Amino acid sequence: MVQNPLVRSHRARADTYFGPGTVDMVKIHLNEAETKGEVDAVFVNAILSGIQLRNLERRWGKPVLDRVGLIIEIFNAHAFTKEAKLQAELAALMYKKTRLVRVCGPDGRYAFGVGGEAEVVSARGRGSGGRGFLSGAGESELHLQRRRILERRRVLESQIEEVQRTRASQRAGRKRHKDSHECSLTTVAVVGYTNAGKSTLVGALSDTDLYSDDRLFATLDPRLRSVILPSGRKVLLSDTVGFISDLPVQLVRAFHATLEEVIEADLLVHVLDSSAPNLDEHRSSVLQVLEQIGVSGEKLENMIEVWNKIDLQEDDGSHFDAADGHEATCTEVIDEDIISYGGDDCGEGGESIADLSEGEFEETIGSEEDEYSDTWLSQEDGIKWGSSICGDTSNNEPNASLGEWRTRNVSDSAQAGPHVKTSAVTGVGLQELLELIDEKLELQNNRLKRENVVERSIFHSKWRPPRTEEDASVAVEQ
């Protein structure tokens, strides 16, 4: 296996990075690939450029998965419905475009770093080989590759638009539907970091079974479950895809159709795993994604924060000790700082990943760099994706002061604690949560009604010209 002290097998790295309880998924998933006679891969906890990825793969003789590649791999593995598959493929394609990495999977499926030889197609490196006038050969291959990606992307985007349209009309139908209280059917979206227990909680609240598992991104499609609140009001709970820190904005946008359920929901319930040692980090990651997808500041302010898995806290605290101990054994963490600043801290025989993008393995794109540079984190694509096709987007615009709000709110709520503590497994706090949802919706309804009344009094009352004294005298004379 790889000797570089900065890199461990994907198992150990994923375990330390994604936290306890999530490593199994990564293990099982990759082990499954191995037992099928496929390849072993090395996971590097960083976001790498295409050249860095390729150079590492050459050096280690193994496919390398970086952070985004691993997430995409997980998305692909968990995508079962048509919608999820389309979105996962689009996410992979957008990633691929910025890396210009060609992966030849045996079954033709996109599989980053797993299931085939990954090859960077670059202007100078391939085709040309610096052979004088033939130096355009690599370039045309690069363009060909790029065009194919763009064509496929267009097809996927139009299919996803179709999905969005269907979802929008379903939502409109739900809004028209009135319950026995003459209220339109309200949707409550349950959001949160992956593995926080969202599906388990929605299942417990609605007394139904939803697929939940101790793995990352168990849920990729929103699922709706109806629940009767203590007041008798019927609401739809929407279980959503989990979020994760540093999720590239394009990846989030690939799941836009799914995430629209969150934007369009009447109320948000933010589920946090109270046993997670980095709860604050999880909270701010989720808020960041909500901000990215355009949830209004008002909705965020109204959001209910739930600390789930409270039963684990009632344990003797061994969970936290175990987590600490786990961190302590992680001496071979690949720090993103090391990647950025070079190899001084690499230890004996170590080499930084920054080193690997230079020297003997270097294959620069040169003049193509601007055109094909890593736009993965740029906003360029976002402009298109930001324009939702599902009707009114006016309230989807990210609020300018949201960043500010988020910072304030994160620290405020960190001090104030959760609105409700629950255990989706034992049922603790569930009734309290339902009551709180009821209360929030009632307040929201009353506010909307008040706003409607004000609006109506302003816009719907008949306009009459102001009566002046002159008018009055004319009237008397007549």
Binding site for ligand GTP (CB under 6 A): 192, 194-200, 212-214, 216-219, 242, 308-309, 311-312, 423-425
CA distance 232 to 236: 13
Residues present in the chain in total: 478
Shortest distance in whole angstroms from residue 241 CB to Mg ion:
8
Q: Under 8 Å CB-to-CB from 203, ≥6 apart: which residues?
A: 209, 210, 212, 225, 424
Which entry of Mg ion, ligand GTP, none binds 197, CB below 5 to 8 A by partner kind?
ligand GTP
Shortest distance in whole angstroms from residue 206 CB to ligand GTP:
13
Residue 468: Cβ-neighbour burial (10 angstroms; 0-12, 13-18, 19+): exposed
Which entry of ligand GTP, Mg ion, none binds 312, CB below 5 to 8 A by partner kind?
ligand GTP
Residue with tokens 């409550």: 188
Report which residue's Cβ sits closest to ligand GTP.
242
Q: Under 8 Å CB-to-CB from 14, ≥6 apart: which residues?
A: 22, 23, 26, 27, 43, 70
Report residue 168 as tokens: 């929008």
For Mg ion, the binding residues in 444-473 under the rule CB under 5 A are none
Give the one residue of 219, 292, 308, 357 binding Mg ion; rule: CB under 5 A: 219
CA distance 83 to 164: 9
Shortest distance in whole angstroms from residue 326 CB to ligand GTP:
17
367-375: long-range contacts, CB 8 A cutoff, minimum separation 24: 367/123, 368/122, 368/123, 368/139, 368/142, 372/100, 372/142, 372/146, 374/49, 374/50, 374/98, 374/99, 375/98
* Vertex 56: Cα angle to 50 and 58 (nearest 5): 100
Shortest distance in whole angstroms from residue 215 CB to ligand GTP:
6
The amino acid present at 321, given as its one-letter code, is D
204 near Mg ion, judged by CB under 5 A: no
Site size for Mg ion (CB under 5 A): 4
Q: Is 443 helix (H, G, I), strand (E, B) or coil?
A: helix
CA distance 19 to 34: 23
Shortest distance in whole angstroms from residue 211 CB to ligand GTP:
7
CA distance 279 to 307: 9
Contact 94, 381 (CB under 8 A): yes
Closest CB to ligand GTP among residues 122, 200: 200
Closest CB to ligand GTP among residues 125, 242: 242
For Mg ion, the binding residues in 142-201 under the rule CB under 5 A are 198-199
Closest CB to ligand GTP among residues 103, 303: 303
Which entry of ligand GTP, Mg ion, none binds 388, CB below 5 to 8 A by partner kind?
none
φ and ψ of 218, to 5 deg: -65, -35
Closest CB to ligand GTP among residues 40, 213: 213
* Interface segment toward Mg ion; rule CB under 5 A; list 152-160, 213-221, 394-402, 417-425: 213-221
Which entry of Mg ion, ligand GTP, none binds 10, CB below 5 to 8 A by partner kind?
none
Closest CB to ligand GTP among residues 113, 197: 197
Which entry of ligand GTP, Mg ion, none binds 354, CB below 5 to 8 A by partner kind?
none
Shortest distance in whole angstroms from residue 293 CB to Mg ion:
18
Shortest distance in whole angstroms from residue 306 CB to ligand GTP:
10
The amino acid present at 290, given as its one-letter code, is L
Shortest distance in whole angstroms from residue 240 CB to Mg ion:
8
Interface contacts to Mg ion, rule CB under 5 A: 198-199, 218-219
